[in-house]
Amino acid sequence: MNPPRMEAGATLDGYLIGERIHRGAMASIWAVTHPATPGPLLMKVPMMAEGVDPAAIVGFEMEQMILPRLSGPHVPHYIGQGDFGIQPYLVMERIPGPSLLPMLNQLPLPWAAVVALGARIATALDDLHRQHVVHLDVKPSNLLARPTGEIVLVDFGLSHHDELPDLMGEEFRLPYGTAPYMAPEQVLGHRRDPRSDQFALGVLMYFFLTGVRPFGDPQRLSGLKRRLWRDPVPPRRLRSDCPPWLQEIILRCLEVHPAWRYPATAHLAMALQNPDQVALTARSEKLKQDPFTTVLRRRFADQQLVIPTAKTPIRHDGDAPILAVAIDLSAEAAPIADTLRTMVARMLGTLPGARVACLNVLKQGRITLDLTLDAQGRNIHHQRLVELRNWAIPLELEEGRISFHVLESPDPAAAILQYANANHVDHLVMGARASSLRRTLLGSVSSQVAAQAACTVTVARSRRLRQGDVGEDVGEDASGSWTVG
């Protein structure tokens, strides 16, 4: 089914679509109304046109899971969402007034205004962190203010929720975020530390105080990594009227190691609200950047320096293992897909705490330009996600215990192995196709994965397929599958 056309005057699930307020790289925002819901509303619709980054769809999935779980004055009130298989969308309250983005035209701000704004943002972040969410994209355009004064955080597509699968972290190896505001540990792929949002707030306060971004606006990973070893120019060097205690707070937020920042964002808010209680250190008096010898020493120890000592990724094992299942969605593999679902259901009967990750590889050409839309104009990545969800419906797993991942790669075996290794998968289940001359010469995907995976691999085959597709070192069990320990 083709998605409905998004245009002013159209109706979608009872929502009357008004003007398009914003068109970004990952989503469009529309003004909508509904007779059953008073007040102005917004509808967020992910971009799924030709050439759109798959992260737009994955990030939207995350926001669909996170936003309904949030409450309070510092987030937009969740109203509803659309069927992911037809037209995914999110509807939320419309916060009156603009974001903080127009304030960039007024920089630099008086230091007292920066302090007051920073305290309000820190309070909002503390409320979010208490709801088990790290925002990971704190920037002026994602901060709005209610008429009553509370700061509202929006756009949770890059966020991490402690109780949900981290789809962005599991599927993409490169960091996602807004370059000037990304914390050093976030650049290195660590996405679960609330202190990363402190760093972003420190960048924002520095920028609003001085009119200069402390780490510039790098466009490459090498430029992003520079903040791991090069400290910013102290704010008092650029603003002589900046109080020492304010520089102390900002530079503490911008520390490379999360452990050197405030233990929690509530502590940061308290410091901004009670400057007379801020303990001053050498940070408060700095007027120059660190000497070259110090920078050089950090440059060659950066990996050890920024790995967090707390809030590290949780290892799921024991009674809560990660069970990944690689599913071929082609018509010819339908019998194997059914077998895989039966096997996974049996495994879940003995592993009630397990989390299931459903994988499919969208094979890319090595040198060709791949289309992202099918013949009907539908986004292929999105359609694969819909098919994975349909495959998993009979498993009847609640949200949080199952996730869906379309991996784009020219090498399916390498993509599956990378996912399994990076996400500490405990058991991988996949199917084996029938033998062919190509598979005989080059080796099958299942045999490559079984030979190289660090976890247990079970390879299922249809009863109608010939044996021997995964190698002689693999044993066959009674269910018609092969298991490698």
Dist. CA 106–CA 108, nearest whole Å: 6
Structure token pair of residue 261 = 């920042």
332 and 221 share one domain = no
Q: Is 179 left (phi over 0), alpha (psi -120 to 50) or beta?
A: alpha
- Strands 11-12, 15-23: pairing is antiparallel
Instruction: Give mean pLDDT, residues 211-221.
Output: 94
Structurally, the chain folds into a number of domains equal to: 3
Q: Is residue 53 part of a domain?
A: yes
Pairwise CA distance, residues 330 & 333, whole Å:
5
Q: Please tell me which residue, 80 or 444, carries the higher pLDDT value.
A: 80
| Structural domain boundaries, residue 226 | 101-306
Phi-psi region of 318 (alpha: psi -120 to 50; beta: other; left: phi over 0): left
- Of 59, 93, 127, the one marking the end of a domain is 93
Whether 26 and 72 share a structural domain = yes
Would 314 be classed as within a structural domain? Answer: no
In this structure, the answer to whether residues 377 and 416 fall within a common structural domain is yes
> Are 244 and 386 contained in the same domain?
no
Band (pLDDT 50/70/90 cuts) for residue 200 is very high
Q: What is the pLDDT of residues 70-79, one digit of tens each?
A: 999 999 999 9
Q: Do 146 and 185 belong to one domain? A: yes
Asked if residue 4 belongs to a domain, the reply is no
Task: Give the count of beta carbons closer than 10 Å to the beta carbon of residue 314.
Answer: 10
Distance, CA of 160 to CA of 6 (rounded, Å)? 29
Query: C-alpha angle 160/214/210, rounded to 5°?
Result: 120
Q: What is the pLDDT of residues 120-138, one digit of tens each?
A: 999 999 999 999 999 999 9
391 token code pair: 């495959």
Under a CB-based contact definition with an 8 Å cutoff, are residues 278 and 245 in contact? yes
Tell me: do 333 and 468 sit in the same domain: yes
Question: Within this chain, do residues 299 and 443 fall inside the same structural domain, yes or no?
Answer: no
CATH of the domain at 75: 3.30.200.20
- Give CA–CA dist 454/432, Å, rounded: 19
Rounded average pLDDT over 298-307: 64
Q: Specify whether 270 is located in the same domain as 332.
A: no
Q: Is residue 315 part of a domain?
A: no
Tell me the mean pLDDT in the region 8-18: 92
> 132 and 87, same structural domain?
no
Whether the CB-CB separation of 203 and 180 falls below 8 Å is answered with yes
Residues 193 and 302 in one domain: yes
pLDDT tens readout for residues 304-323: 555 544 443 333 344 568 89
Q: Is residue 251 part of a domain?
A: yes
Give me the half-sphere count of Cα atoms (radius 13 Å) on the Cβ side of residue 209: 30
Q: 182 in helix, strand or coil? A: coil
Domain boundary among 306, 337, 370: 306
Both 22 and 86 in one domain: the answer is yes
Using an 8 Å Cβ cutoff, are 171 and 419 in contact? yes
Domain termination site, one of 306, 339, 355: 306
403 CA to centre of own chain: 13
The CATH number that applies at residue 391 is 3.40.50.620
Task: Point out which residues pair with 323 in neighbouring strands.
Answer: 356, 427
What per-residue confidence (pLDDT) applies to 463? 56
Would 5 be classed as within a structural domain? no
Residue 2 lies in a domain: no
- Which CATH number covers residue 137? 1.10.510.10
Report the percentage of the chain scoring pLDDT > 90. 53
Helix (H) or strand (E) holding 177: none
CA R_g for the chain: 25
Structure-block tokens of residue 242: 């900046």
Q: Does residue 431 sit in the same domain as residue 298?
A: no
